Amino acid sequence: GFTITGTDAGNYTLTQPTLSADITAKALTITGLTGDNKEYDGTTTATASGTASLSGVLGSDVVTLSGTPSYTFAQSTVGTGIGITTAGYTITGTDAGNYSLTQPSLTANITAKAIAVTPNSNQRKVYGETDPVLTYTFTGVIAGQTPSFENTLTRAQGESAGAYAIGLGSLSLKDNGLFKVSNYSLVLTPGVDFTIN
């Protein structure tokens, strides 16, 4: 397409330039996925919901999304908007060599795991006596972690003979080695009473 003009152009011939360049793979992204929130379980294992689909394929090019994805939280502890790394998606098809695939970046929350505190049954005293320290059991702690408690359960006020609901009172958790308070919440199992005879 280059030409030469001018008074003396007839005295010359023109050789078109020979050039080279690269055609790089077109980046494809994956849409349609949402990171799933989960309750704290001590691991970075994550999951996602939705239907993964390719975005960016040109015209009638044959490119298919395949592979077995895996998802990993950036941290194992409680938090919001935690990044999730995705791996395992691949592309196949006649035109797959013309494309590159970017794994999806997702986020989700890890919420506190509930520790169920259940007051022991048949806790009582005789009218006029001093209240005993209220005892309890608990469930819900991740294996290998040992919680530490401080303060005590309390009961509804009153000193007359009868039944009084037991509540969490000032019972709380504290950090202890692998056990971190921020990863847990205390939940009272209702329906257990303290009795004054």
Q: What is the pLDDT of residue 170?
A: 96
pLDDT > 70 in the chain, percent: 100
- Cβ count within 10 A of residue 151: 12
- Contact by Cβ (8 Å): 26, 58: yes
Average pLDDT over residues 100-126: 98
Q: What is the pLDDT of residue 177?
A: 86
The average confidence (pLDDT) of the chain is: 97
Query: How do residues 148-159 score in pLDDT, each as one tens digit?
Result: 999 999 999 999
Model confidence at 61: pLDDT above 90: yes
pLDDT-derived band at 80 (thresholds 50, 70, 90) equals: very high
Instruction: Please give the biggest Cα pair distance in the chain.
Output: 126
The reported pTM is: 0.84
Average pLDDT over residues 118-129: 97
pLDDT-derived band at 64 (thresholds 50, 70, 90) equals: very high
Model confidence at 178: pLDDT above 90: no
With a CB cutoff of 8 Å and minimum separation 6, the contacts of 177 are: 145, 146
67: tokens are 């592979």
Q: What is the pLDDT of residue 136?
A: 98
